[in-house]
Amino acid sequence: MRLARTALELLLASHPVDCAHCLKSGSCELQSIAKHLGVKLKTKRFAKILPELAVDTSNPLFIHDPNKCVLCGKCIRVCQEKVGRGVIGFGYRGFRRMVTTFGDEPLGRALCQDCSECIAVCPVGALVFKEKSQ
Ligand code: SF4
Ligand code: SF4
C-alpha cells in the first residue's frame, strides 16, 4: 500500500490536476485510485514538474491531451489488436514519452478512422470527445 501511494504521488507530480475543467472528472480512474489509496490529488510530497506537451485538437471528434496521459497503453493496444489499425504507439523517452502517431502526424491527419475505441478505453482525460468540451 505504501509503495502504491508513492507511485501514485510520483505520477501526480507530473500530472496537471485540473479536474474542475477536465471532461473526465467524475469517471476518471486516477481520481478513483487516489480516493481508494487516500492520496490527495494535489499532493505536494514531490516537486511538480509538468511535461507541457502540445494538445492535439486536429481530429473533428476528439482531443488528445498527452499531458494527462498516464501511459497505460490501453489506447495503443485497442487500436492495434481490436481495430487492427496500429495508428498510435509510444514515442520518445523518459519524461517526454507519449502516445503519438507515425511521424507525429496530428490525429486529424493520421490514418485514424475515428472509431473512438481508444477514447472508450482511456482511463483519464487524455483522450476525450470534443463535443463534451463545448
Ligand atoms: S485526468 Fe482525472 S485527475 Fe487528471 S485532471 Fe482529469 S479528472 Fe482530474
Ligand atoms: S489510454 Fe489514455 S492514458 Fe492510456 S496511454 Fe492511451 S492516452 Fe494515455
The 10s digit of each residue's pLDDT in 76-88 is 999 999 999 999 9
The 10s digit of each residue's pLDDT in 3-55 is 999 999 999 999 999 999 999 999 999 999 999 999 999 989 999 999 999 99
Q: What distance in angstroms lies between residue 74's CA and the mean position of ligand 2's atoms?
A: 6
- Report which protein residue has its CA nearest ligand 2's atom 8: 69
Instruction: Tell which residue, 63, 43, 62, 44, has the closest CA to residue 53.
Output: 63
Residue 134 has a pLDDT of: 43
Residue 95 has a pLDDT of: 86
Residue 98 backbone dihedrals phi, psi, to 5 degrees? -155, 165
Q: Helix or strand or coil: residue 104?
A: helix
Separation CA 48–CA 34 (nearest Å):
17
Q: What distance in angstroms lies between residue 128's CA and the mean position of ligand 1's atoms?
A: 11
Which atom of ligand 1 is closest in space to residue 125's alpha carbon?
1
Residue 132 has a pLDDT of: 53
